[in-house]
């Protein structure tokens, strides 16, 4: 049985802070451990992978929470094999982690009154129809958003209607809603953080992402007769360096050696966006990676999504509006170009 804690009003004061990260062996969990402020490291950070904390098993969750007695839970656990999830043989596995597991962990946290950060994704929006209003003043609209309009599209806000196109997106959205339901009648701090296009490149060589893939393909194709790499140029998003995201999450939590201090204006279950600043296509990212290693960026050939079919549909517009993050007084993440530079050079 999980011991209930005190009722929180935004700040939890304890002797030392104990942080539990579900999915702690993944890319984000690793970055969170590496970027934890010194004041947090004076407490305890438990980065638990599935072998230690299988969030699809309710009894395991309760046993771990009873043992760890965390003062904050960050749920970075997810089934992220986007294309594999489209296979009927794997859909139950995606749902078990992204929906049921998120629900079980959130319910246990709410019961024990443990502050909770749940990591979500731009895929919940799918093929959004968010565009600049007809006849609208683009400059005025830009003043209210944290990112510019591109091709008539407006960055996706936290209240943009969700239309997930993939099993991954649908299971993550269902997980978001389950987390909100778990905390809806509580005063326990809970935030859902939606991010996008997360990468670490050479900084975390044991993890694989788009930047690390482009680095590998650039090296492999150097001696080819046609040393080109083909990358889609009709999918727009907000690339996010995982270390920038991790630092942002620590700032959001307000964690120090003795407190967990969420922004008090956040209602339990609030959604915020946190991505790298700016907007670009995968083709832009690939060109930047090539340029960073001294390769000719023109070796990256633009193609359409139709020329590169995948099992899971990708939205053509997935740029997130970070105004919800900035409204909390939190530090904006660096520009995606800066993040890619550091990922290529292996700087955390």
- The reply to whether 89 falls in a domain is yes
| Mean pLDDT computed over 201-224 | 94
Ranking 13-17, 117-121, 227-231 by mean pLDDT, the lowest is 13-17
- The reply to whether 218 falls in a domain is no
Instruction: Tell me what the pLDDT averaged over the chain comes to.
Output: 90
Predicted confidence band of residue 260 (pLDDT cuts 50, 70, 90): confident
- The reply to whether 298 falls in a domain is no
Write the CATH number for 129.
3.40.50.720
What was the pLDDT predicted at 283? 99
Q: What is the pLDDT of residues 302-333, one digit of tens each?
A: 999 999 999 999 999 999 999 999 999 999 99
Ranking 21-35, 68-82, 90-104, 219-233 by mean pLDDT, the lowest is 219-233
- Using a pLDDT cut of 70, give the percent of the chain over it: 88
| Mean pLDDT computed over 43-50 | 95
- The reply to whether 226 falls in a domain is no
Predicted confidence band of residue 81 (pLDDT cuts 50, 70, 90): very high
Choose, from 125, 168, 199, 308, the residue flagged as catalytic.
168
Ranking 12-21, 66-75, 236-245 by mean pLDDT, the lowest is 12-21
Higher pLDDT, 44 or 197: 197
Predicted confidence band of residue 27 (pLDDT cuts 50, 70, 90): very high
Indicate the number of domains in the chain.
1
Q: Strand runs (DSSP E) across 147-253, as ranges? A: 190-195, 198-199, 229-232, 236-237, 240-241
Predicted confidence band of residue 287 (pLDDT cuts 50, 70, 90): very high
pLDDT at 140 over 70: no
What was the pLDDT predicted at 133? 37
- Helix segments in the chain, DSSP class H: 27-35, 38-41, 58-68, 88-95, 102-112, 138-144, 167-183, 210-220, 242-253, 282-292, 323-326, 336-345
- The reply to whether 147 falls in a domain is yes
Q: What is the pTM for the complete model shown?
A: 0.90
- The reply to whether 144 falls in a domain is yes
- The reply to whether 305 falls in a domain is no
pLDDT at 43 over 90: no
Higher pLDDT, 266 or 136: 266
pLDDT at 84 over 60: yes
Look up the domain containing 121 and give its range.
11-199+241-278+319-334
- The reply to whether 289 falls in a domain is no
| Mean pLDDT computed over 94-99 | 99
pLDDT at 339 over 50: yes
Dihedral of the CA atoms 20, 23, 26, 29 (nearest 10)? -20
Dihedral of the CA atoms 193, 250, 81, 212 (nearest 10)? 130
What was the pLDDT predicted at 150? 67
168 counts as catalytic: yes
């Amino acid at each position: 049985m999980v011991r209930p804690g005190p009722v929180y009003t935004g700040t939890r004061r304890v002797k030392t802070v104990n942080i539990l990260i579900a999915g702690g062996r993944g890319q984000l969990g690793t970055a969170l451990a590496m970027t934890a402020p010194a004041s947090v490291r004076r407490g305890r950070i438990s980065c638990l992978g599935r072998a230690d904390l299988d969030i699809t098993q309710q009894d395991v969750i309760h046993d771990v929470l009873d043992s760890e007695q965390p003062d904050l839970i960050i749920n970075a656990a997810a089934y992220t094999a986007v294309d594999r999830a489209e296979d009927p043989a794997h859909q139950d596995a995606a749902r078990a982690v992204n929906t049921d597991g998120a629900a079980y962990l959130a319910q246990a946290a709410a019961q024990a009154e443990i502050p909770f950060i749940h990591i979500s994704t731009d895929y919940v929006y799918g093929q959004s129809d968010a565009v600049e209003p007809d006849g609208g003043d683009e400059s005025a609209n830009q003043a209210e958003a944290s990112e510019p309009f591109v091709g008539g599209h407006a960055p996706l806000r936290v209240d943009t209607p969700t239309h997930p196109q993939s099993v991954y997106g649908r299971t993550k959205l269902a997980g978001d809603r389950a987390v909100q339901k778990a905390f809806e009648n509580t005063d326990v701090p809970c935030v859902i953080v939606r991010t996008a296009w997360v990468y670490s490149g050479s900084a975390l060589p044991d993890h694989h992402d788009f930047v690390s893939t482009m680095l590998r393909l650039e090296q492999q194709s150097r001696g080819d007769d046609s040393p080109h790499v083909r990358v889609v140029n009709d999918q727009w998003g907000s690339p996010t360096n995982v270390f920038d995201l991790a630092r942002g999450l620590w700032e959001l939590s307000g964690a120090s050696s003795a407190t967990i201090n969420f922004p008090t204006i956040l209602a339990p279950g609030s959604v915020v966006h946190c991505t790298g600043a700016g907007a670009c296509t995968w083709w832009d990212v690939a060109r930047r990676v090539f340029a960073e290693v001294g390769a000719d960026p023109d070796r990256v050939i633009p193609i359409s999504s139709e020329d590169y079919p995948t099992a899971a549909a990708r939205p053509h517009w997935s740029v997130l509006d970070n105004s919800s993050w900035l409204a909390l007084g939190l530090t904006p993440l660096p520009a995606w170009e800066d993040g890619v530079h550091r990922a290529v050079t292996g700087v955390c």
